[in-house]
């Protein structure tokens, strides 16, 4: 069985259903990418996974434990951490305090020193700026901090919602490189949400395509890039 | 010149109490996003509880600080859990009406129990004072200020140097992100509210040796707390402390140099001017936030 299994998940806001019947899975140490254009429902889907939205129906099984209906704190405790779209840093607090907050829970707190060392080796810029307010960092540095903060919580599954959004191409490369490095060194699984299809597929093992709140396609990067529908709808061919 | 320093000193001493009550208000606002219109009434309850305990046990009110703090942390926690919490997902008007309702309820309750009389506590040092550099420091006012300062320093240390304090600040800055860190927001709401209420009550305690206790005593203090919080920038603890001292000084200067019964007018005049010209608060933008 996979590390994380989502079965027929439906979710939305109030009476409104946005995500319909989504099923997908992630294996140990795998990078899976969730592709889709703006408004497809990607954020709604993964915010449901981390407990920010209520599950309307369906199941989520992580490490053999059912997570649907659990709150965000419990899901964080189970080992799923989200790097949210728009980063959501604690803007008025220092870089270091943001990182400390990533390891607020008991388990991660006991590994705080090691995690911090790892984050600083991954993003030396953060160490240089550790006393600076998070809100005063550049966009790229803020994204690094958001990722670093998530790593501090020592997750088994790291979920990133459009980490490349609004960043210069060079910074995007750094961010994707760091994602690969985290997978390699921490031996964790990664769920990456992206609109930037080519870039995302270049680091992913498998991908799913989301359209209008439904998962419509699944495949490895080669299959997806060769798919006629993908070519037409996402690659402008 | 002597009068001037005396006036400033008086302002700062009462400003300490304002700071304590207002810090509680801003903490509650920052974390729960609730404007607690009953802050002044919690202060009033703190005064009555102090008065009764002090008379009943024959203990100096300032020695009751810890006990009163514990009582009101527990009381605040219950009020949050059973009343405030039920309205957090509702529109702001609901919370406003709830806290306003609580304010009226507490005032009426004390009116029924104790009547409208002004009560006071006779402490042996009531009229004693210290003379330093030509400035008279009345004992009870000085003690009140010292308790306020100690309380604020403790709060400062708690918020900045403990895991829990950091989590509270995180919830106040970005509750969604705090939730993602595994911080239990319900727990934060309970803690922030109970600390906020405790600050109001202990602020009240410090007044008991030199101020009358009556059911409506919290009205003005509650209002002042709101002024202080708005001036300091909503949710900003340091801003609240600075503007509380400022308000104390303005009040005292107006009373001394304009007219005794116009002291409130000076405060609200400054308040309105700030609202018009610096609606983000006095300190916002000066510090990077
Ligand atoms: N808080 C919300 N309340 C109601 N509708 C929302 C909310 N957030 C997003 N939506 C709607 O859900 C749909 C999917 O949005 P989203 O999940 O953000 O898509 P994506 O992340 O793929 O761009 C959009 O139509 C959006 O308007
Ligand atoms: Mg999105």
CATH at residue B120: 1.10.3470
CB atoms closer than 10 angstroms to residue A121:
11
Listed in sequence order, the DSSP H helices in B33-183 are 39-57, 65-79, 85-87, 92-114, 139-161, 163-173, 175-180
The per-residue pLDDT for B282 is: 74
Report the pLDDT value the prediction gives residue B287, as an integer from 0 to 100: 45
Give the count of beta carbons closer than 10 Å to the beta carbon of residue B59.
13
A171 and A146 within one domain: no
How many angstroms separate the CA of residue A230 from the nearest CA in chain B?
Answer: 33
Q: Using a CB-CB distance cutoff of 8 angstroms, which residues of chain A are in contact with residue B289?
A: 91-92, 133, 135
Domain identity same for A161 and A150: no
Reported as a pLDDT band with limits 50, 70 and 90, residue B289 is: very low
Shortest distance between the Cα of B33 and any Cα of chain A, in A, equals 17
Render the burial of A52-86: b for 16+ CB within 10 Å, e for the rest.
Answer: bbebbebebbbeeeebbebbbbebbbbbbbbbbbe
**Domain tally, chain B:** 1
How confident is the model over B20-39, as a mean pLDDT?
95
Give the model confidence (pLDDT) of A116-140 as tens digits.
Answer: 999 999 999 999 999 999 999 999 9
Q: Is residue B175 part of a domain?
A: yes
- Reported pTM: 0.91
Flag whether pLDDT at B136 surpasses 70. yes
| Residue A137: per-residue pLDDT | 97
Q: How many residues does this entry show for chain B?
A: 289
Q: How far apart are CA A178 and CA B217, in angstroms?
A: 60
Q: Is B283 a residue whose pLDDT tops 80? A: no
Which ligand sits nearest to residue A45's alpha carbon?
Answer: 1
Q: Tell me how far the alpha carbon of residue B286 is from its chain's centroid.
A: 24
Question: Which range (A17-31, B24-38, B224-238) has the least confidence?
Answer: B224-238
Q: Provide the pLDDT for residue A90.
A: 97
Q: Which residue range is the domain that position B174 belongs to? A: 2-277
pLDDT at B233 (0 to 100): 82
| Distance separating alpha carbons of residues A132 and A96, to the nearest angstrom | 8
pLDDT at B201 over 90: yes
| Nearest ligand 1 atom to alpha carbon A40 | 22
Claim to verify: residue A10 and residue A70 sit in the same structural domain? yes
Minimum Cα–Cα distance from B167: chain A residue: A101
Co-location of A192 and A214 in the same domain: yes
Decide: B234 and B219 in contact? Cβ < 8 Å: no
Between B63 and B275, whose confidence is greater?
A: B63
- Supply the pLDDT for residue A237: 65
Q: Are β-strands B129-132 and A65-66 bridged in parallel, bridged antiparallel, or unpaired?
A: unpaired
- Residue A90 within any structural domain of the chain: no
In a domain, B286, yes or no: no
Domain boundary among A131, A154, A177: A154
Mean local confidence (pLDDT), B142-165: 95
A98: closest chain B residue by CA: B170
Indicate the length of chain A as a whole number: 237
pLDDT, position B239: 87
pLDDT band at B265 (very low <50, low <70, confident <90, very high): confident
Is residue B282 domain-resident? no
Alpha-carbon torsion (A104, A108, A109, A111), positive or negative = negative
Q: Which domain holds residue A205?
A: 2-79+157-235
Task: Look at residue B285 in the predicted model and tell me its pLDDT.
Answer: 55
- Minimal Cα distance from A86: which residue of B? B177
CB atoms within 10 A of CB A88: 21
Q: In what order do the strands lie in the sheet with A206-211?
A: A80-83, A157-161, A189-194, A31-35, A206-211, A214-219
Report the pLDDT value the prediction gives residue A63, as an integer from 0 to 100.
94
- Angle ∠(A129,A135,A137) on CA atoms, nearest 5: 40
Domain end marker among A154, A179, A201? A154
**Contact status of B169 with chain A (Cβ, < 8 Å):** yes
The count of structural domains within chain A is 2
In angstroms, rounded to a whole number, what is the distance separating the alpha carbons of residues A39 and B88? 29
Domain boundary among A130, A154, A178: A154
pLDDT of B286 over the 80 cut:
no
Determine, yes or no, domain membership for B284.
Answer: no
Tell me which residues have their CB closer than 6 angstroms to ligand 1.
A 13, 16, 18, 36, 38-44
Contacts of residue A169, defined as CB under 8 A and 6 or more positions apart, other chains included, come to none
Give the whole-number percent of chain B exceeding pLDDT 70: 97
Q: Are the beta carbons of A101 and B173 separated by less than 8 Å?
A: no
The set of residues, in sequence order, having a beta carbon less than 8 Å from that of B20 and lying 6+ positions away, is B148, B151, B152, B199, B200, B202, B203, B206
pLDDT score, position B64: 97
A86 lies in some domain: no
- Rounded Cα distance between B24 and B152, Å, is 10
Assess whether A181 and A207 both reside in one domain.
yes
Centre of ligand 2 to C-alpha A194, Å, is: 8
Bigger pLDDT: B275 vs A64: A64
**B283 inside domain:** no
Is residue A27 a contact partner of residue A2, using CB atoms and an 8 Å limit? Answer: yes
Q: How far apart are CA A219 and CA A217, in angstroms?
A: 7
H/E stretch holding A13 reads: strand A4-13
**B288 lies in a domain?**
no
HSE-up (13 A, CA, CB side) for residue A92: 17
H or E stretch at A83:
strand A80-83
What integer is the mean pLDDT of B31-52? 97
| In a domain? residue B285 | no
Residue B194 counted as domain residue: yes
Determine whether A13 is exposed, middle or buried from the number of CB atoms within 10 Å of its CB (0-12, 13-18, 19+): exposed
Per-residue model confidence (pLDDT) at position A9: 97
Least confident of A80-84, A195-199, B34-38, B244-248: A195-199
How confident is the model at residue B288, as a pLDDT?
39
Q: Chain-wide mean pLDDT for chain B? A: 93
Residue among B106, B24, B112 nearest B69 (CA): B24
Low-confidence ranges of chain A (pLDDT < 70): 237
Would you state the pLDDT for residue B238?
A: 87
């Amino acid at each position: 069985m996979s590390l994380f299994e989502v079965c027929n998940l439906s979710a939305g806001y109030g009476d409104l259903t946005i995500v319909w019947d989504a099923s997908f899975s992630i294996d140990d140490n795998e990078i899976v990418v969730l592709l889709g254009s703006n408004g497809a429902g990607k954020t709604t889907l993964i915010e449901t996974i981390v407990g920010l939205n209520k599950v309307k129906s369906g199941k989520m099984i992580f490490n053999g434990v059912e997570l649907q209906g659990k709150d965000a704190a419990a899901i964080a405790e189970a080992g799923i951490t989200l790097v949210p779209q728009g980063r959501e840093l604690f803007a008025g607090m220092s870089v270091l305090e943001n990182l400390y907050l990533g390891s607020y829970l008991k388990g991660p707190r006991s590994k705080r020193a090691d995690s911090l060392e790892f984050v600083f080796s991954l993003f030396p810029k953060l160490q240089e700026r550790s006393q600076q307010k998070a809100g005063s960092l550049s966009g790229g540095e803020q994204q690094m901090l958001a990722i670093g903060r998530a790593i501090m919580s020592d997750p088994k599954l790291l979920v990133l919602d459009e980490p490349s959004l609004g960043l210069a191409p060079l910074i995007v490369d750094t961010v994707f490189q760091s994602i690969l490095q985290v997978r390699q060194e921490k031996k964790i699984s990664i769920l990456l949400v992206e609109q930037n299809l080519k870039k995302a597929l270049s680091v992913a093992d498998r991908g799913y395509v989301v359209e209008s709140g439904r998962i419509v396609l699944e495949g490895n990067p080669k299959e997806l890039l060769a798919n006629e529908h993908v070519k037409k709808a996402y690659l402008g061919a | 010149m002597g009068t001037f320093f005396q006036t400033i000193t008086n302002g700062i001493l009462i400003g300490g109490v304002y700071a304590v009550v207002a810090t509680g208000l801003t903490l509650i606002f920052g974390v729960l996003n609730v404007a607690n219109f009953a802050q002044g009434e919690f202060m009033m309850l703190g005064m009555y509880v102090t008065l009764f305990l002090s008379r009943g046990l024959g203990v100096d009110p300032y020695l009751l600080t810890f006990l009163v703090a514990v009582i009101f942390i527990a009381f605040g926690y219950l009020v949050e859990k059973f009343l405030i919490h039920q309205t957090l997902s509702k529109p702001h008007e609901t919370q406003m009406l709830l806290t306003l309702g609580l304010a009226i309820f507490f005032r009426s309750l004390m009116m029924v129990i104790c009547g409208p009389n002004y009560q006071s506590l006779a402490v042996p040092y009531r009229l004693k004072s210290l003379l330093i550099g030509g400035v008279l420091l009345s004992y009870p006012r000085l003690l009140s200020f010292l308790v306020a300062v100690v309380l604020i320093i403790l709060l400062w240390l708690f918020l900045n140097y403990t895991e829990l304090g950091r989590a509270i600040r995180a919830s106040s800055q970005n509750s969604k992100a705090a939730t993602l860190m595994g911080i239990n927001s319900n727990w934060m709401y309970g803690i922030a509210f109970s600390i906020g209420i405790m600050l109001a009550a202990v602020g009240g305690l410090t007044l008991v040796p030199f101020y009358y206790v009556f059911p409506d005593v919290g009205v003005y203090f509650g209002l002042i707390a709101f002024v202080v919080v708005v001036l300091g920038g909503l949710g900003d603890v340091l801003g609240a402390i600075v503007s509380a001292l400022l308000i104390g000084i303005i009040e005292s200067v107006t009373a001394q140099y304009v007219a005794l019964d116009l002291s409130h007018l000076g405060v609200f005049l400054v308040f309105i001017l700030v609202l018009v010209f610096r609606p983000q608060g006095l300190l916002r933008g000066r510090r990077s936030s």
